[in-house]
Structure 1
Amino acid sequence: MTVTGLSPRPGPPALVVVAHGSRDPRALDTVRALQDRVRALRPGLPVHLGHIELNEPLLPDTLAALGEAEAVLVPLLLGRGYHVKRDIPEAAAAARARTSVAAPLGPHPLLADTLHARLLEAGWRRRPASAVILAAAGSRDPESRVDTNRMAGLLAARLGVPVLPAYASAATPTVPEAVTALRARGRHHIAVASYFTAPGRFATQCAAAAPGEAAAPGEAAAPLGAHDAMAELILHRYERVLGTPVTVAA
């Protein structure tokens, strides 16, 4: 029997990954790889990319291409700050698309899992007098600092060692200042966890400040990157906006 007069069942809202943008070409490669991992976890879910600045496609262009479709914007950012509070909501409000904006990725236990994995890849192991510096970009927004401090607490619980936040810009302490503070507390085995979504100038700067031992380079982990836990977290933020997990058939 053929049923007529019924509209086709609408698909799920599009997921728009909102990246900051970087002049470092590795950043765009990393974001696209992460986008592919999200697609692999949810075949059939429309996943798009938009940048706040520096890289194409820019977020307004991505939203314009969606027309009047429904979309959830997931900031590929690690805490509250100007981009999360102003830039992204303003772009969403100006679009014809029916948009919702998810929370930033951090802080979250899945980020602690990813940071731990990156530290292990860099050769880190827990030893007596160990400590870790959580190197972040930095922001003048006090809520961003609150978020980074919470993330440091989550990572400390995951690793079982003290974790001290440090910043590349706009906030203190810097990584070298954090190294000095931790050594004053008797912490001599210090590694740097890179609290950046992708490689770039700030991540490179912070890694270079990792303290070495006996002419050996310091232990500095790679940025979060295209880790499976990152893709899971993006989908988690998307689903929280919708209020229920979304299953998409292949």
Structure 2
Amino acid sequence: MRPRRDSFCHAARFSTDSLEAENEDADVVALRAVVLEGAGEKAFCAGADVGGFSSESSGASSARDHYQFIRDFPAPVIAKIDGYCLGGGLETALACDFRLASESSTFGFPEVNLGILPGAGGVQYVSKLASPAVAKELAMFGDHIGAERAADEGIINRVYDDESFDDEVEAFATELAGQAPLAVQAIKDSAHMAVQSGLEEGLRYDAKRFRQLLQTDDHEEGAAAFGEDREPKFDGK
């Protein structure tokens, strides 16, 4: 099944109102996935304006809502990375659920060269996705790494050829948008809980959401489609 093209959203900048408006007045889940991409042709995001940092007003504090909104957004968020992905730009990508990169993209935390550290959790993210040693290497040296190494370390999900990058990301997002949206939201929440809480709490959460999803129309449709050997059509209810 190929969902409608408008079932996912390309966005150069997040807007709470515009994204949440996608689901207003709808009796189903209208917004199934979000693709976040850079506005230019050379970078996903090369980081913050260094002139905006001061001891009174840190970039980390002022941008906290930006990263939190991405992490908490109910639909999965895909970072479409083509070019430089540095500093706060890399932290933005790390806040997303998936990171897809072109082969020519580069990644890094240059903050150490300014006498600061990645202020929005970059070291925390990479320590969990890769290892503390990799996080320290990236943040302490400030060097760039290529997409292949970033994928090998587990920092990004997939690397695509530059020529096929746009088509591959669209195919990924379209397939993701076709999955059962309530189940996808529950899986996103479960994965977040897995890195924030103990195993027993996570198991209780999964069991609770499993029971809730059994009562949905989507589960009924999925079971019927399986029995009839056809593709399911999920509405998100």
The bucket for the TM-score relative to the shorter chain is: under 0.3
Hey, which of these two has a bigger chunk of helix by percent?
2
**When the two structures are superposed, what TM-score results if normalisation uses the length of structure 1?**
0.27
**When the two structures are superposed, what TM-score results if normalisation uses the length of structure 2?**
0.28
